[in-house]
Structures are given as structure tokens and as C-alpha cells.
Amino acid sequence: MRFVKMHGTGNDYVYVDCLRDSRESLEALQDPASLAVMISKPHFGIGADGLVLIGSSETADFSMRIFNADGSEAEMCGNASRCIGKYVYERGLTHKLEISLETKAGVRTVWLSEQDGVVTSVRVDMGAPSFRPREIGVDLPGDRAVLAPVKVAGSAWRMTCVSMGNPHAVVFVQEDPAYLDLNAVGSAFEHHPLFPHRINTEFVQVLGRDALRMRVWERGAGETLACGTGACAALVAAAMCSLTDRRATVHLLGGDLDIEWNPYTDHVFLTGPAAFVFEGDWKPG
């Protein structure tokens, strides 16, 4: 099976082009969940945050399916969307600088900035955020969970819950989140009874009206160097709580993302880089 490894601000996935791949490769994808577990393992596999399948679509230019490192399927990924934009343009699958991408969270629009045939930056329309706890997958009453108290891992926290096509609990912290024991706290949030379908959790320090610092624990993957939907959720939550304006740079372990929450359309826009790492052939066993 031919694959390409790419990353968006350090959030790395193994990408398989189902539009061009051979029959033998496609047969290896009959169980993509199990394949994602195998290839994501460091040392024993390729090593990644998961598997992304690039395919055709009846409603958009292309489609993507995302499988986390534990085999669970995700609805949406902003970093993967940017990588797919770079891949399809630079590999000659499209000549358009504006493409549509079908995801489990709906069709998203992707804009490419290029120079001399190389995509230098990608902007994604991430859609409108959702706040109703039951729609997000949060077992709380009411229309919104804003700075809602929750006890996790023996400590009291306040979380603001947002869906960007997938569920997020945003927790604001006073100190640099680098000092958090994220393995303990992130896992405890993910598996807390309030989240029957698990949750992505962002620990966010407000640096100013236009800047946030963030670490993220992704359900099914653990800590990752970046999360595009999580960065969007962080900005939305910060703006809702009057901690920032509606546009900010989010500083993650893997790099920076520019997030804008448009007040007229209610859509959130994510802008950042995408990069190739390497490619090869996967031959399991």
C-alpha cells in the first residue's frame, strides 16, 4: 500500500490516496480501523496520530475519512484538511485553488495559497460552532456549557464545551500548560462520565486579546502537537468568555495557527501550513 506521511503543525497522519492506488492497496484498506492502529504505532509501524483516506465524493471535489491511532473514526480534522489540500494540488489531482472537501462533519471549503506550484498556506472554512451540550455529546442540561464546573482527576476545573464538527472541552489555565500532567488529566477528561462518546480537551492560557497558548489531548490519540478543530474551539470559547477578540493566533507545540470567528457568517476559519514528511510502501507482516 502506497502512503504519504504529512503533518500540519506537527499533527501527523499517514495519508492513502484511494483515487490512484492499486487494487492490492485498496484491499489492504478493507479494515481501515485496524490498519490505523498498526501503522500509527511508533517503532512497530510508521508512527503517526492516525490514518487519513483521500477519496472521491458525489457532493464535493474530494472526500476524507480520518481514523485515530486507536482505530476510532473522527468526524473532522482541520490539520488533515490542510494537508489534503496541499496533496491534491501538488500531486496534480486538481488545478483549483478553492476546493470542497467532504467530511463526516459536512462539506468544507479549502483555499490554497501557492507560489511556483508549491502550496505555502491553506485556509479552511471550519463551519459554525455548536454549543448545545447534548448535541456536542456532553451530559449536562441547558443550551450551553460555559465555564461549567467539573471535577476531574481530583481537581476542580471550569470547562467551555464547543463542537467544531467534533466535541471539545476547553479549559482555561492561569499558568503555562507545559506544566500540566497531561497524560493524567487529559485521559481523565476523555473518559469522564459526562462525555459518553469521549471528548477532546484543550488546556489554554490566554496571552492577550489576540494570542493563546494551548496543549491538547485528543480522544483516541492522546496528546498531539496540534489540533485544528481544537484551536478553533479554543478561540471560540475565549471570545465567548470575553477573554480575546474573535481573531487570534493559537500557539501549539507544533507551531502556530491563525483562527478567525466571523461575526457575520458565524463560521470559523483556520489558516496554517501543511508539509510532506516522507512516502513509501506499507507491507504489513
CA distance 62 to 77: 15
Q: What's the confidence (pLDDT) of residue 255?
A: 97
Helix H or strand E encompassing 169 = strand 167-172
Provide the pairing of β-strand 155-163 with 11-17.
unpaired
Q: Active-site residue 83, yes or no?
A: no
DSSP 177: G
Mean pLDDT of the chain: 95
Q: Which three cell numbers stand for residue 199?
A: 471528548
- Give the pLDDT of residue 193: 97
Domains 2-127+272-281 and 133-266 share a fold: yes
Q: Measure the CA angle with vertex 262, ends 260 and 264; round to 5°.
A: 175
Structure confidence by residue, pLDDT tens digits, 39-58? 999 999 999 999 999 999 99
Domain 2-127+272-281 bears CATH identifier 3.40.430.10: no
Q: Which of 81, 18, 16, 9 is nearest to 279 (CA)?
A: 16
Q: What top-level class would CATH report for the domain 133-266?
A: alpha beta
* Segments of the chain with pLDDT less than 50: none
Residue ranges of domains in the chain: 2-127+272-281, 133-266
Catalytic residue among 18, 77, 161, 232: 77
**pLDDT tens figures, 239-264:** 999 999 999 999 999 999 999 999 99
Instruction: Tell me the C-alpha distance between 134 and 119, whole Å.
Output: 39
Which of these, 214, 156, 152, lies nearest to 184 by C-alpha position?
A: 152
161 a catalytic residue = no
Q: What is the pLDDT of residue 60?
A: 98
Predicted local distance difference test score (pLDDT) of residue 20: 79
Residues 80 and 124: their CA atoms lie apart, in Å, by 10
CA distance 247 to 210: 6
Whole-model pTM: value is 0.94
**The pLDDT value given to residue 233:** 98
Residue pair 113/121 in contact by the 8 Å Cβ criterion? yes
